[in-house]
Amino acid sequence: MPKYVLMGVDGKLGSGAADYALEIASPDQKLIFTVPKLPAEPTERVKAWIAKGAEVYAADYDDVASLEKVFKSAEAVTFISTWLFGERRRGQHKTVIDTAKACGVKRIGYTSFIGAGLEKDLPFLSQDHKYTEAVIFDSGLDYNIQRNYLYADNIPQLFAPAWKFCGDKWTLNSKGVPAAYVAREDCSRVAAALLLGKGQPKSVYDVTGPEAVSDNKILEYMCKKTGYKAEIQDMTDAELEKYWLDKGLPTSIFGDFSKIPMKLCVDDVVSCGDVVGKGLMSKVSDTVEKLAGRKPLTVWEVVDKYDDILPRP
């Protein structure tokens, strides 16, 4: 029975992919899910996965021995990008790819990011992904890479909580350029589909929402829903960076975010707008519908899911 390994199911993207993989897997496809460390007592979600036939193991991106145990005889391995930036994350990803190749894995899957295919002027958020893609291309393995657009979920979950802190303003450097924000749930479904062989060999897919929408329209929609009044304050990259540095936003993911409602480091915040402002998210693809069996969720449907946490007067 062919074995399919999905790494990183402890996170939101990975757990959603695990759920959908169990929906679409055929009886002759064995699913292996991994987390960095198994909890003393399985969560209800893990119990549900096991009840449906999946096996769950500990496999750490930094621990070759733990990777070898789950990669042996695997048809395909899909790994979710880790949350670190820079050399540490690049090293983790290379370890996974090298170990997969050494174990005879036939195909590797990876959750990349839009912009990773650029030859120059890479946004900060795309740089580690470009490196990882290059390692995959050089490995000689078959592959499926998905370049996700920014999540629509990030707007209500990460940006909206900071608007009151900013004087009822959404400080942005996206220049009003429309963007096809994608639901994290749809990215999860694409990851599961690609893991189980729904994609073309040696393929790279852009994963987008169904339409490109400006941040101004999204803010207008959210304010209309709640009665909250806010406005967008346009800034250059340099102005936005200084704005958040002056407010004490950390420059590293390891900084202290306890007193600031914005939970992204400075480079991350600036890069999100940079990606949109450069038009890297303006084109719409049919990836979700083609691979995940449904039309992608709209940004409006995603925002509606988070109605209980939207800012209000």
pLDDT at 83: 87
Show the tokens assigned to 122.
């890479």
pLDDT at 181: 98
Q: What is the pLDDT of residues 115-160, one digit of tens each?
A: 999 999 999 999 999 999 999 999 999 999 999 999 999 999 999 9
Report the CATH architecture of 3-148: 3-Layer(aba) Sandwich (3.40)
Q: Is 300 helix (H, G, I), strand (E, B) or coil?
A: helix
Give me the mean pLDDT over the 164-180 stretch: 97
Show the tokens assigned to 75.
């048809």
For the chain, give every residue range classified as CATH 3.40.50.720. 3-148
Q: What is the pLDDT of residues 33-67, one digit of tens each?
A: 999 999 888 899 999 999 999 999 999 999 999 99
Q: How far is CA 200 from the centre of its chain?
A: 21
155, 218 contact by CB (below 8 A): yes
- Indicate the pLDDT class of residue 309, thresholds 50, 70 and 90: very high
Q: Is 214 helix (H, G, I), strand (E, B) or coil?
A: coil
pLDDT at 150: 98
Q: What is the pLDDT of residues 227-268, one digit of tens each?
A: 999 999 999 999 999 999 999 999 999 999 999 999 999 999
pLDDT at 39: 85
Give me the mean pLDDT over the 107-114 stretch: 98
Report the CATH architecture of 150-181+209-282+295-313: Alpha-Beta Complex (3.90)
Q: Give the integer Cα–Cα distance in Å for 55 and 63.
A: 19
For the chain, give every residue range classified as CATH 3.90.25.10. 150-181+209-282+295-313
